[in-house]
């Protein structure tokens, strides 16, 4: 069973590394080892690598590495798009090569040969839609319409001009330094899509996440049914029961032997199933996070803005409460007579700082159905937006 435990440990380590790299900045992992691993993978390891290159090969080689970093991380490039195409193509190839020989089988009909290809084709179509669609570029022609569609809340958005585009900056927009353009209802720049996620293509991005989660779920279940069908067709359980009759004659007792037989005979299928399950769980978490943002009509960019605003307001109110408490303490010392108070009452007295509560007032959250409609049918795709654009001309 040493090989089996080695595979389990390898899977766990891989899952931790992948989750840390992709999800380490999520609020749920704040202050945990996941966040620390994420910091090391995204900053610490690269910093040590740069120091090593500079010390061993000199500054010219380090400048070359920085140039590659600038191209890969700070400029639009198709590297991750190519990686996506390679991953989905290679995965489908190995699934087809290792599993199609057993389809149709005991539990699966032959139609799954074609539905799997259709599912992958739809996934690639959604990928292309998200990658090459306009995220909602703000320019001089439509800026007034976007300002009307997204009014300033004077909390995290106020009237200002984009220092790069030299046009008024609508609320909820941001200038993307990678794409070098202002994007309406900016969420984030997605390296996998080589495109910003904004007002116009959030719907495609959400469909992409949901569909690829369903593909992973479909693949995991289908491969599991292929393996279950092979167990049934080859009567492995009956044979093992006969071999171990009188010693281990229940299915649970035979489970380690069945797993060992599967790992020895169908290790490729099991690795594919584990891979799809891990990616599916990551996609489910990512989709759930963005679905929550859509339901509350918030973007990833606004999440960080609200965090900064709430933290600033909390510090400001705590300073005011502390100043007021200090003033009351000084006034109490100066007073001639002080009523004696119980030490226990003073011990259990609630601190004024505990009453400091900051309420997030999101004026763009107009209810579940309105928020979902805004994602499915963005303002710029509506007839009223087009009419306002024609009037402004």
Q: What is the mean pLDDT of residues 90-105?
A: 93
Residue 247 vs residue 37, higher pLDDT = 37
Our count of domains for the chain comes to: 2
Specify the 3-state DSSP secondary structure of 161.
Answer: strand
Q: How far is CA 178 from CA 63, 130, 146, 211, 380, in A?
A: 20, 17, 22, 27, 23
The last residue of a domain, from among 42, 74, 106: 74
Is 299 among the domain residues?
Answer: yes
Residue 40 pLDDT > 60:
yes
242 and 367 housed in the same domain = yes
Specify the 3-state DSSP secondary structure of 187.
Answer: coil
Per-residue pLDDT of 301-336, as tens digits, reads 999 898 888 888 888 888 887 887 777 777 666 665
140 and 289 housed in the same domain = yes
91 and 31 housed in the same domain = no
Indicate which residue of 23, 162, 179, 190 is catalytic. 190
182 classed as catalytic: no
pLDDT of residue 20: 84
Q: How far is CA 238 from CA 115, 242, 247, 250, 313, in A?
A: 33, 6, 14, 11, 68
Rounded to whole angstroms, how far apart are CA atoms 28 and 18? 16
184 and 239 housed in the same domain = yes
Q: Phi and psi at residue 168, in whole multiples of 5°?
A: -55, 145
Domain span at residue 40? 13-74
298 and 278 housed in the same domain = yes
Q: Phi and psi at residue 195, in whole multiples of 5°?
A: -160, 155
pLDDT of residue 359: 62
314's tokens = 């909390």
Record the pTM: 0.81
Least confident of 52-66, 90-104, 177-191: 52-66
Is 139 among the domain residues?
Answer: yes
Per-residue pLDDT of 57-72, as tens digits, reads 888 898 898 888 888 8
Is 242 among the domain residues?
Answer: yes
Q: What mean pLDDT, rounded, does the chain reach?
A: 85
Residue 249 pLDDT > 60:
no
């Amino acid at each position: 069973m040493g090989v089996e435990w080695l595979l389990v440990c390898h899977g766990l380590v891989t899952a931790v590394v992948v989750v840390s790299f992709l999800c380490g900045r999520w609020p749920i992992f704040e202050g945990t080892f996941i966040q620390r691993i994420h910091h090391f993978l995204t900053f610490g390891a690269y910093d040590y690598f740069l120091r090593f290159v500079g010390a061993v090969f000199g500054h010219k080689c380090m400048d070359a590495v920085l140039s590659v970093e600038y191209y890969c991380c700070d400029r639009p490039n198709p590297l991750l798009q190519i990686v996506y195409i390679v991953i989905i193509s290679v995965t489908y190839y190995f699934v087809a090569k290792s599993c199609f020989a057993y389809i149709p089988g005991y539990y699966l009909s032959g139609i799954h040969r074609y539905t799997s290809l259709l599912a992958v084709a739809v996934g690639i179509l959604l990928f292309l839609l998200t990658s090459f669609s306009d995220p909602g570029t703000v320019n001089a022609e439509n800026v007034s319409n976007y300002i009307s569609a997204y009014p300033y809340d004077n909390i995290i958005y106020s009237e200002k001009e984009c220092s790069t585009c030299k046009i008024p900056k609508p609320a909820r927009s941001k200038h993307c330094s990678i794409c070098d353009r202002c994007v309406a209802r900016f969420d984030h720049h997605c390296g996998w899509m080589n495109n910003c996620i904004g007002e116009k293509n959030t719907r495609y991005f959400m469909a992409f996440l949901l569909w690829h989660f369903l593909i992973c779920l479909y693949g995991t279940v289908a491969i599991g049914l292929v393996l279950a069908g092979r167990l049934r067709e080859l009567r492995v359980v009956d044979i093992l029961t006969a071999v171990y009759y009188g010693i281990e004659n229940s299915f649970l007792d035979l489970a380690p032997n069945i797993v060992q037989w599967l790992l020895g005979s169908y290790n490729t299928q099991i690795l594919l199933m584990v891979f799809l399950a891990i990616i599916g769980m990551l996609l489910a978490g990512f989709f759930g996070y963005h679905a929550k943002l859509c339901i509350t009509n918030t973007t990833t960019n606004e999440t960080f803005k609200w965090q900064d605003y709430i933290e600033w307001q909390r510090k400001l109110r705590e300073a005011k409460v502390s100043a007021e408490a200090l003033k009351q303490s000084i006034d109490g010392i100066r007073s001639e007579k002080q009523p004696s108070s119980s030490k226990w009452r003073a011990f259990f007295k609630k601190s004024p700082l505990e009453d400091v509560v900051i309420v997030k007032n999101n004026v763009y959250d107009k209810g579940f159905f309105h928020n979902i409609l805004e994602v499915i049918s963005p303002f710029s795709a509506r007839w009223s937006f087009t009419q306002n654009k024609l009037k402004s001309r």
